[in-house]
Amino acid sequence: MRESSDYKSSVQTKRDNEWLLARLESIWKNHFSDVPQVNEVFIGFGRKSKYRFGSIRLCLTDNSTHIKISGTFKDPDIPLEIVDHTIAHELVHYSHGFSSLLPRMHEHPHRGGIINKELKARRLGHLISFYDRWVEEYVEELTRTNREAARRDF
């Protein structure tokens, strides 16, 4: 992970890949400091997506890890907590040996609520409750928008 200065969440700044790297570094330092970075880790915005907020992949050609965050999250109207939740979610996968060179800790990456259990253990439970409330509103808004578009198209 490349070094950069600490990001202050109270400062409004452009959401770009450098900003994402600062968020990743802050979350890793403050909540995943026990997880060794055993390979190079890259983070960046991907294409916009309504339902897939993040992904993590291991590049087999150079054993680097690539975290992609939905390009939708460049919008400053998307709460910082949602971006942080998504990054932390992907870091849980990394720490459990999914898309990293660390030993795999579980057979399945999501079974049994392991992500939320890990986030709570790492003092990130507040992000879970924020995320759950936000996603409910977000899905309702998407549903309403889709219904309105269907009516117009009919």
Q: What is the CATH number of the domain that holds 89?
A: 3.30.2010.10
Q: How many domains does the chain have?
A: 1
Q: How far apart are CA 53 and CA 103, in angstroms?
A: 25
Q: What is the pLDDT along the chain (154 residues), one digit of tens a residue?
A: 433 334 344 456 899 999 999 999 999 999 999 999 999 999 999 999 989 999 999 999 999 999 999 999 999 999 999 999 999 999 999 999 999 999 999 999 999 999 999 999 999 999 999 999 999 999 999 888 878 777 776 6
Contact 95, 106 (CB under 8 A): no
According to the model, what pLDDT value does residue 145 have?
83
According to the model, what pLDDT value does residue 11 have?
53
| Domain-located, residue 68 | yes
Q: Tell me the whole-structure pTM to 2 decimals.
A: 0.87
According to the model, what pLDDT value does residue 70 have?
98
Question: 118: domain range?
Answer: 17-153
According to the model, what pLDDT value does residue 154 have?
64
For residues 86-121, b (16+ Cβ closer than 10 Å) or e, as one string?
bbbbbbbbbbbbbbbebeeeeeebeeeebbbebbee
| Domain-located, residue 9 | no
| Domain-located, residue 40 | yes
| Domain-located, residue 147 | yes
Phi, psi torsion values for 86, nearest 5 degrees: -65, -45
